[in-house]
Structure 1
């Protein structure tokens, strides 16, 4: 048995140890007021709490590098999301008649060949993206893709999943583009570069850049370089 003096000493030492533990870094998150300024006409489905909850599943999202980099990354993500959804207005793609089923995949399209149209903040589309996102998140999105349009946290998670893990037509993930100072333009290339970059659709690129400039202004952070693709 410990003496009362020994026990007191242990408690004191534990208290000192607790005090000197390094603080866990927290991701940058816009305030709800800033979020509302960015998306004044947003669909009620896209909740601020849904975004916050989804961010908790991705420890490095808006949480890598300096405070400036963290703020720039979140501004870049939200700018692209705004462009994809008309300011967080659209939950589902307007034209849902497209065939986004790659039938060469062994898992096929169990929800139907026309069930994998764009949904959510990043407008997730194609059966292979629903499969990959669902596998990562532990949700069967391949069989029930409409979960991306009916659960706000899941919807935000699919957008952050793409941002953090997919390079699309680009050469790096949007996350890596921002934390490695490659610029906002590289995020466009990774999301829709094959249709917009290199002069293919400068108006769409400008739309994304303008949103990024607006959102960095709201947050109060420099835009950085290489805004175009």
Structure 2
């Protein structure tokens, strides 16, 4: 999971608007939980916490483990490296963005239009567009619950960056009526 709503940094009266100051933090703020989920393949290391770190704010041992393996580091033993080493930080972000985690497609495949929803995806309301990316990243928390501030903020940041880059938003920006991936 990735928690962008916890890393926004913006406020309603911010210069240039609330989305001009987003994605400012390299670590999840506040007092985050340890995000340790029992997992035989990616066991938690005693005393380590797997809260959101890096540009994509990866969480949980089941993300730190495979991300570390992909980049040649044991991130289960040293999850803090994701916040403290900029190269590792962006490597984990690229890993999360590019890597499908079944049954989820990769964020990259969705945004580039190469992902095609299965019949089960379509029945779950998961159709191509930015909303599916939110579902991939944080569906269990943000999706399928109707309109909510977290998704609205995520869409606001997305639109701001699209505007900066001069690209269209595409369709299906929210996941309000999508069932989360299992």
Normalised to the residue count of structure 2, the TM-score between the two structures is 0.71
Aligned length: 148
Distance, in Å, in 2 between the alignment partners of 1:131 and 1:165 is: 13
Residue 122 of structure 1 is aligned with which of 32, 56, 66?
56
Give the 3-state SS of the residue equivalent to 1:227 in structure 2. Answer: coil
Residue in 2 aligned with 1:144? 78
Residue in 2 aligned with 1:178? 111
Distance, in Å, in 2 between the alignment partners of 1:81 and 1:108 is: 22
Residue in 2 aligned with 1:85? 7
Runs of 4 or more above 6 Å deviation: none
Equivalent pair of 1:184/1:227 in contact (CA under 8 Å): yes
CA drift of 1:149 comes to 0.8
Higher helix share: 1
Any stretches of 5+ residues in structure 1 without a counterpart?
1-79
State the Cα deviation string for residues 10-55 of structure 1 (Å, max 9, x = none): xxxxxxxxxxxxxxxxxxxxxxxxxxxxxxxxxxxxxxxxxxxxxx
Residue 156 of structure 2 is aligned with which of 210, 214, 218?
210
1:197 has 2:143 as partner: yes
Larger radius of gyration: 1
Equivalent pair of 1:185/1:226 in contact (CA under 8 Å): yes
CA drift of 1:200 comes to 5.1
Q: 1:107 to 1:226 in 2, by over 3 A?
A: closer
Any stretches of 5+ residues in structure 2 without a counterpart?
9-21, 115-127, 176-182
Equivalent pair of 2:53/2:83 in contact (CA under 8 Å): yes
Distance, in Å, in 2 between the alignment partners of 1:163 and 1:106 is: 22
